[in-house]
């Protein structure tokens, strides 16, 4: 029989979980950031006109254009894919996110259309958009709780569920990241447990929901090569291809596959330098603003071509070199550990996320969300787990808050800008510099710290 102390502890744990749920219910109708408007536009368009042509023209049209260019289908690689522009409300939109996200938003739009066939832009639409992230957040908490038995599992779950950075991202800012985070977490857990084929399928699924799913690939490949034989690699590739084909079927079957694939790559072609991602390029853009506008400016998004013209070199080349070097160092740290140190798998992905967020030129304010999802897996396994989780959570919260406050209709942008300039030097630049220090600390802790050995460490098999 459970003791009175055990019952009291479980009551407190369930009360904390319930509090997190009630807070999320309260925030479901909030207006989020401007990204919420974009998501509602995509959702309404997908629900009312279908998803097939949401990215662009049919394959037949693109093939015709390729043949006109050179008479060969090889010209398809050089044919620009026109973006399908559509209006919703008073603005014009294009879709520049992978098909998995479109399918989630299509479902949200269908639900809202069932409730309100005219689909007005009202708080109930915000609720519909936020339901999938709510369900995904709850599922993440459940997976974390079950990742290890006992109170450590509960601690992992509540450190995610009650994390202010998570709550700010979804539902307050209205991001869909928990959907992607759930699939990525499942992939990491599968890889930790030696389910390589399943892990590959889940990594592909995560990448077709959010482009940051690609950050899982280096660790997946390194672990698979070290621990499995080529026949397993082949099965994993086939499983990933099958999942990709299934998720792309609504476009493939309708003859719009090329446009859908192009839509998945559009985030890589943006022309701005670290758009609201506080990293080394945000600091570099601030230096450009200082040179142009004088001392103590408000940091802002700058164009890559503008920066190249000012600095005399292309930041994208430097970014790729830094990311390649960071990835190599992370994989070396992973592979030098014994196979039994399964905690190193989520830590390697956390490091990869921060390397991308620090050195990438296409980074946005919410792009370290995955690190906050995975860091709780280190609790009970690594001495620096609490510090790593606190640091990555604080950075995510600061990056999101200093770009949008608590969201539209709560924190006006002018108020956020005033907060940023309170110390004269833009706080966002301070946070970007702190991110450099924190990443260096993560690397140092990874190299020097040793994990405790106990029975809760998941074993490969």
Looking at residue 68, what is its pLDDT? 78
Q: How many other CB atoms sit within 10 Å of the CB of residue 116?
A: 13
Residue showing tokens 């995509």: 42
Q: In this predicted model, which residue has the larger pLDDT, 443 or 456? A: 443
Distance CA 397, CA 364 (A): 13
Distance CA 440, CA 434 (A): 10
With cut-offs at 50, 70 and 90, classify the pLDDT of residue 451.
low
CA distances from 166 to 21, 89, 173, 343 (A): 12, 29, 10, 22
Kindly state the percentage of the chain with pLDDT values over 70. 95
Residues 280 and 299 sit within 8 Å (Cβ to Cβ): no
| Nearest by Cα to 260 from 51, 49, 36, 43 | 51
With cut-offs at 50, 70 and 90, classify the pLDDT of residue 456.
very low
| Nearest by Cα to 257 from 30, 35, 54 | 54
Q: In this predicted model, which residue has the larger pLDDT, 421 or 450? A: 421
For the segment 33-55, the average pLDDT, to the nearest whole number, is: 96
Q: Residue 37, preceding bond cis, omega within 30 degrees?
A: no
| Nearest by Cα to 266 from 52, 56, 19 | 56
| Nearest by Cα to 140 from 157, 159, 163 | 157
Distance CA 160, CA 24 (A): 13
Distance CA 183, CA 187 (A): 6
For the segment 51-77, the average pLDDT, to the nearest whole number, is: 82
With cut-offs at 50, 70 and 90, classify the pLDDT of residue 4.
confident
Mean of pLDDT over the chain = 93
With cut-offs at 50, 70 and 90, classify the pLDDT of residue 2.
low
With cut-offs at 50, 70 and 90, classify the pLDDT of residue 66.
confident
Distance CA 299, CA 283 (A): 8
Instruction: Look at residue 458 and tell me whether its pLDDT is greater than 50.
Output: no
Per-residue model confidence as pLDDT tens digits over 72-131: 666 677 778 899 999 999 999 999 999 999 999 999 999 999 999 999 999 999 999 999
Backbone angles phi, psi at 272, to 5 degrees: -105, 155
Looking at residue 452, what is its pLDDT? 54
Instruction: Look at residue 32 and tell me whether its pLDDT is greater than 60.
Output: yes
Looking at residue 254, what is its pLDDT? 95
Q: Residue 76, preceding bond cis, omega within 30 degrees?
A: no
Residue showing tokens 């079927």: 249
Looking at residue 450, what is its pLDDT? 67
Backbone angles phi, psi at 141, to 5 degrees: -60, -40
Q: Residue 273 in 3-state DSSP?
A: strand
Helix 99-115 and helix 230-252, axial crossing angle in degrees, nearest 10: 40
With cut-offs at 50, 70 and 90, classify the pLDDT of residue 71.
low
Q: Residue 31 in 3-state DSSP?
A: coil
Residue showing tokens 């596959």: 257
Which residues touch 210 (CB under 8 Å, ≥6 apart)? 97, 98, 100, 101, 176, 177, 179, 180
In angstroms and rounded to an integer, the radius of gyration of the C-alpha atoms of the chain is 23
With cut-offs at 50, 70 and 90, classify the pLDDT of residue 442.
very high
Distance CA 205, CA 225 (A): 21
Per-residue model confidence as pLDDT tens digits over 133-172: 999 999 999 999 999 999 999 999 999 999 999 999 999 9
Distance CA 42, CA 40 (A): 5
Kindly state the percentage of the chain with pLDDT values over 90. 88
CA distances from 123 to 41, 88, 128, 278 (A): 14, 16, 9, 30
Distance CA 129, CA 109 (A): 8
Backbone angles phi, psi at 224, to 5 degrees: -65, -40
Residues 84 and 53 sit within 8 Å (Cβ to Cβ): yes
Q: In this predicted model, which residue has the larger pLDDT, 196 or 6? A: 196
Per-residue model confidence as pLDDT tens digits over 344-402: 999 999 999 999 999 999 999 999 999 999 999 999 999 999 999 999 999 999 999 99
Q: Which helix (H) or strand (E) holds 344?
A: helix 344-359
Looking at residue 264, what is its pLDDT? 86
Distance CA 110, CA 125 (A): 11
Distance CA 299, CA 399 (A): 13
Residues 103 and 47 sit within 8 Å (Cβ to Cβ): no
Residue showing tokens 């409730």: 115
With cut-offs at 50, 70 and 90, classify the pLDDT of residue 54.
very high
| H helix intervals, 162-215 | 164-167, 177-192, 196-207
Instruction: Look at residue 313 and tell me whether its pLDDT is greater than 80.
Output: yes
């Amino acid at each position: 029989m459970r003791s009175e102390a055990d019952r009291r502890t479980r009551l407190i744990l369930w009360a904390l979980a319930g509090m997190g749920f009630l807070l999320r219910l309260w925030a479901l109708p909030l207006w989020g950031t401007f990204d919420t408007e974009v998501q509602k536009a995509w959702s309404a368009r997908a629900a009312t006109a279908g998803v097939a042509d949401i990215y662009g023209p049919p394959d037949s049209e693109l093939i015709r254009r390729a043949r006109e260019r050179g008479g060969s289908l090889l010209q398809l690689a050089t044919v620009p894919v026109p973006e399908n522009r559509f209006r919703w409300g008073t603005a014009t939109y294009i879709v520049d996110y992978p098909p998995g996200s479109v399918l989630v938003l299509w479902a949200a739009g269908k639900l809202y259309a069932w409730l309100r066939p005219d689909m007005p832009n009202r708080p109930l639409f915000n609720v519909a958009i936020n339901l999938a992230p709510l369900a995904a957040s709850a599922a993440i908490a459940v997976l974390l709780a079950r990742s290890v038995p006992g109170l450590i599992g509960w601690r992992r779950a509540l450190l995610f569920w009650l994390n202010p950075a998570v709550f700010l991202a979804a539902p307050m800012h209205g991001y869909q990241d928990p959907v992607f985070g759930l699939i990525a977490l499942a992939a990491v857990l599968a890889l930790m447990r030696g389910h390589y084929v399943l892990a590959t399928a889940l990594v592909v699924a995560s990448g077709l929901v959010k482009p940051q799913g690609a950050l899982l690939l280096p660790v997946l490949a390194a672990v698979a090569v070290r621990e499995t034989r080529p026949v397993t690699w082949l099965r994993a590739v086939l499983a990933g291809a099958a999942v990709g084909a299934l998720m792309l079927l609504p476009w493939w079957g309708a003859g719009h596959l090329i446009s859908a694939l192009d839509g998945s790559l559009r985030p890589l072609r943006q022309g701005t330098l670290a758009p609201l991602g506080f990293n080394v390029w945000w600091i570099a853009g601030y230096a450009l603003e200082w040179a142009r506008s004088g001392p103590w400016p408000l940091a802002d998004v700058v164009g890559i071509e503008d920066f190249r013209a000012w600095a005399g070199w292309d930041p994208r080349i430097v970014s790729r070199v830094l990311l390649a070097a960071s990835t190599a160092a992370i994989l070396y740290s992973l592979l030098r550990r014994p196979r039994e140190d399964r905690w190193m798998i989520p830590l390697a992905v956390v490091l990869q996320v921060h390397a991308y967020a620090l050195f990438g030129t296409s980074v946005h304010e919410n792009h370290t969300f995955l690190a906050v999802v995975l860091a709780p897996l280190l609790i009970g396994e690594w001495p620096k787990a609490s510090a790593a989780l606190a640091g990555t959570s604080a950075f995510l919260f600061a990056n999101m808050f200093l770009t949008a406050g608590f969201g539209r209709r709560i924190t006006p942008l002018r108020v956020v800008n005033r907060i940023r300039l309170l110390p004269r030097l833009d706080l966002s630049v301070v946070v970007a510099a702190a991110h450099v220090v924190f990443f260096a600390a993560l690397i140092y802790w990874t190299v020097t710290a040793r994990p405790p050995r106990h029975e809760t460490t998941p074993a490969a098999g």
